[in-house]
Chains A and B, each alone.
Chain A
């Protein structure tokens, strides 16, 4: 019997990607996890086991900041799920309407903010909402609703929601595009068959299209989850590393940044920073696993 030939072309073609991915992704990831198990005492790095995590979760000072950041992160995510994704679906449904004029123009206009840098978005919205030079107060004044204006980014109770809505404004184009593509892939025959059975208009959307695009909505939810729990840029650009006012916009990303690199007189602590980064990694991993094993496998798929 002839021995199976080693198929050399497989490792050869895999090698470049595996090497690059290992050096710039896998190695740093595991090194970060390892760094979280050390601490610096008297200029020397020593192994401390899970001590950093004990500090993070049980020391009152650290745990208060951690839970605050985690809670803010969940609120950030909830706002995206409740506002960004439904609006994205609705926009896609409107755009895919065959008789809508200038659909391409609307599509581009809504998608453009997505390609802007966070710094530009943060700065532009800070100016728009500025109580001194912003156009938001004058526009509200114009329609006689000046009393509704508040310095939203400077108030503990509104700042995080305001930032979440700015982020929604920036990223609503992504769910819109994905759903739009999914809607276009629904064959006309199915809709026509529905029409024959008397299902038209809105009920066609709820009864035929929505079940068919549910898998796409699932993907969008998980992308939103990962994106939100990794978020950092917008808060940093708009509110700075201290995520004011009074840490009300502090999310895991800014908390990690402040701890890892230090801020003003606070010196950086790479070990505690790594512990927070490991925590973020674990949270995202758990979230993705719940989705993959708990939701995606049970989702009903229809052959189209």
Chain B
């Protein structure tokens, strides 16, 4: 079945490509999202071509793990497509610095995006933006509505309520209060530290101050999330030390756990796996009424090959990708990958809608370690994985973790020295 769809898709690409030969301009898109091939073939490209006769679009993805290597060699050989799908931060920045990606700052469509959204595809000084932001993933907590109703727990808003809810599930004993393991390490940092952290370091304010060297990882704002994570350990399942990421997903979708610290990319998977109703709540704030901050992490962008033969058509296409129309098609086809445009998109999936609604209530930021700070050795992102795990297991105190991370960062990052 899948194979047939794929064949059909490939066949239709071939047909459109040949029919386009005559006078039309054909744009080729490089991407690692081979999962989205059908979506592009059936929804996105027809919608664009209907509006822009004379431009044909060809989506040619490669395997995610090979994408960076394949793209680099194609760009060096001059055989890469006109449109390049951009990985966030340093990978794309390196392409821009090598002259492979065009500067897109002068495009009107760029005004549809906030500074946070653009930060993943900008030079360090913010002078040039080289990719149109396409989608982000948002962190928060997904919960089992049936379990909450059964045990009589209210959806928590503050940290005190959050831990009270966990305690109630623990006393009840029918559900594992929270499904997360530390075996694979990255969940602890991504769904733990960078999920709840922005509320402590005040989102962008703290993140930028850290990059500028005005704050240190030993500051209260950066160590306090570790102190909170240390309290999580008691509410994770038995043997969470050896629990893997798929284990946690299965525990939650089988209905054995009440709360799942999540990234929004889980939505489509959970929708097909879980047979109970799910809801979501944002990272709890310390005191009721505090401004809330969410990690709205930029993940996919799209830019233009600087050496394309059809720069006009490519810009037309990118401008369309920056438009609300594209955002609505993309956001609804891939619930959990949220369009980054300022103008809110009407999503149909209830869970995705709930999560994306937080953008209106809270301040957005991105994961603290991704921009600039993970360029050197030791790598701050990888160190944060280990530190978050150590915090949850209680093998190190938050102050020790902050001190060792700060020492590592200061060893190569000048503004922190």
Contact = CB atoms under 8 A, between A and B. Distances in A.
Interface of A: 61-62, 126, 129-133, 137, 149-156, 239-240, 242, 244-247, 263-267, 269
Contacts of A263: 379, 382
Contacts of B238: 131-132
B382 A246 contact: no
B395 A266 contact: no
Interface string B379-407: 10110011001100101000000000000
A246 B390 contact: yes
A33 B215 CA distance: 42
B374 A132 contact: no
B228 interface: no
Contact of B241 (A133, A151, A240, A266): A151
Interface string B167-203: 0000000000000011111100000000000000000
B358 interface: no
24 contacts: A61-B377, A61-B411, A126-B244, A131-B239, A132-B237, A137-B239, A149-B239, A150-B239, A151-B239, A153-B242, A154-B182, A154-B243, A156-B395, A244-B183, A244-B184, A244-B185, A245-B183, A245-B185, A246-B390, A246-B395, A247-B386, A263-B382, A265-B382, A267-B375
Contacts of A129: 242
A242 B374 contact: no
A61 B408 contact: yes
Given A246-B390, A266-B374, A154 B242 contact: yes
A154 B247 CA distance: 13
Contact of A266 (B181, B244, B382, B390): B382
Interface in B72-98: 89-90
B247 A61 contact: no
Contacts of A242: 185, 382, 385-386
A266 B240 contact: no
B251 interface: yes
Contacts of B181: 154
B235 interface: no
Contacts of B213: none
Contacts of B239: 130-132, 137, 149-151, 154
Would you list the 5 A-B pairs with minimal beta carbon distance, nearest first?
A131-B239, A154-B241, A154-B242, A151-B242, A151-B239
B344 interface: no
Contacts of B182: 154, 244-245
B369 interface: yes
Contacts of A246: 386, 389-390, 395
Nearest to B184: A240
B190 to A, nearest CB: 10
B378 interface: yes
B370 interface: yes
Interface in B226-262: 237-244, 247, 251
Given A61-B377, A242-B382, A246-B389, A152 B185 contact: no
Given A240-B185, A244-B182, A265-B89, 20 more contacts: A62-B377, A130-B242, A131-B239, A132-B239, A132-B243, A133-B247, A150-B239, A152-B242, A154-B182, A154-B239, A154-B240, A155-B241, A239-B183, A244-B389, A245-B182, A245-B389, A246-B389, A264-B382, A265-B381, A267-B90
A269 B181 CA distance: 30
Nearest to B183: A154
A61 B183 contact: no
A266 B242 contact: no
Q: Which of the listed residues A126, A132, A151 has the most CB atoms from chain B within 10 Å of its own CB?
A: A132
A142 to B, nearest CB: 17
Contacts of A130: 239, 242-244, 247
A12 B23 CA distance: 61
A131 B244 CA distance: 10
Among B185, B186, B411, the most chain A Cβ lie within 10 Å of the Cβ of B185
A156 B408 CA distance: 22
Contacts of B393: 245
Contacts of A150: 239
Contacts of B385: 242
B58 to A, nearest CB: 31
B285 to A, nearest CB: 28
